[in-house]
Amino acid sequence: MAFIKKADGFVPIVITPPSSLEMPNFRELWDYKGLYFFLVRRDIKLRFQQTVIGFLWIILQPLIQMLIFYVIFGILVKVPTNGIPYQLFFLSAFVVWQFFTQVINNSAYSLVGNIGVIIKSYFPRLALPLSGIASSLVDFAVSFLVLLVFLLLDGHYPITLRYLLLPVLLVITIVFSSGVGLLFGALMVVFRDTKNFLAFILMMWMYVTPIMYPITLAPERFRVLFYLNPMTSLVDAYRWVFLGQGDLPKISYLLISFLVATVIWFCGAIAFRAMENKIADVM
């Protein structure tokens, strides 16, 4: 779609056949900012209404996971964590991982999950996955508070200036997960088995990311393979913030992660745009 400026200010909308490479229209996305707010409100309200324990579920979910992994890897297997209590070691990475997968899932299901309104009205479709980020952030805020409580109760992990890096890490995480989610959202329109595929990939991805074990457990010569996964260095950086373990992540490295995440985001957004043009025709 192209825009031609008219003298009286309104820009006539030109509807053309879709081309295969279309960039997201950021100006239009901005015009629909009210929609994000009400979408996020809808998501949050529905999520809390559906479960009996509602809000409590956000707190319980990471805690139960933590308990299970603590029993298996902290007590039974005794994974070496360089003196850090295993609960804290696990939880400090897991809250991030949970946020990461939630953004991916929200984005991936955003087109097929809102098909009813998509085939009956026009609005920038990207508003759906983007509003999913905000509702995931609400969950992250809660589980982050849980983590903080555990860190402070332990007494050895005070809040330091390192936390200033947290917003930077969050931005990289958001851009990366949103990009991956958009790619899956596009796939979902064409292939119905993407659902199974996605759940499987996310599970495998968690195992190859040092969340329940430290990267030092991997043999030195394979370690570089782990760092091909952008989440490895991100999780490392989060642990540096929360636990003060390891070195300050290199600025150049963070910059590269951000660039990679941005490239993936644009690839995802373009694939998503291509599929949003198709979805009303195939469903």
- Contacts to other proteins by CB under 8 A: 6, 10, 12-18, 32, 34-35, 37-39, 41-42, 45-46, 49, 117-123, 189-193, 197, 277, 280-283
The distance of closest approach from Cβ of residue 269 to other proteins in the complex, given in angstroms and rounded to an integer, is 17
Q: How far is the CB of 174 from other proteins (least distance, A)?
A: 23
CB of 24 to other proteins, least distance (A): 15
Place of tokens 């991956």: 180
Q: Which is nearer to other proteins, 196 or 252 (CB)?
A: 196
CB 34 to other proteins: min, Å: 4
**Spatial separation of the C-alpha atoms in residues 157 and 128, rounded to whole Å:** 38
Phi then psi for residue 227, to 5 deg, are -80, -5
Nearer to other proteins, 29 or 35 (CB): 35
Q: Which value, in Å, is the radius of gyration of the alpha carbons in the chain?
A: 21
Q: Which is nearer to other proteins, 131 or 143 (CB)?
A: 131
Residue 12 or 219: which CB sits closer to other proteins?
Answer: 12
Nearest distance, CB of residue 272 and other proteins, angstroms: 15
Instruction: Let me know if 39 is exposed, middle or buried by CB neighbors in 10 A (0-12, 13-18, 19+).
Output: buried
Residue whose CB is less far from other proteins, 83 or 116 = 116
Give the residue among 121, 119, 278 at the shortest CA–CA distance from 190. Answer: 278
Neighbours of 239 (CB within 10 A): 22
Please report, in angstroms and rounded to a whole number, the separation of the first and last CA atoms in the chain.
Answer: 23
The tokens for 224 are: 């570089």
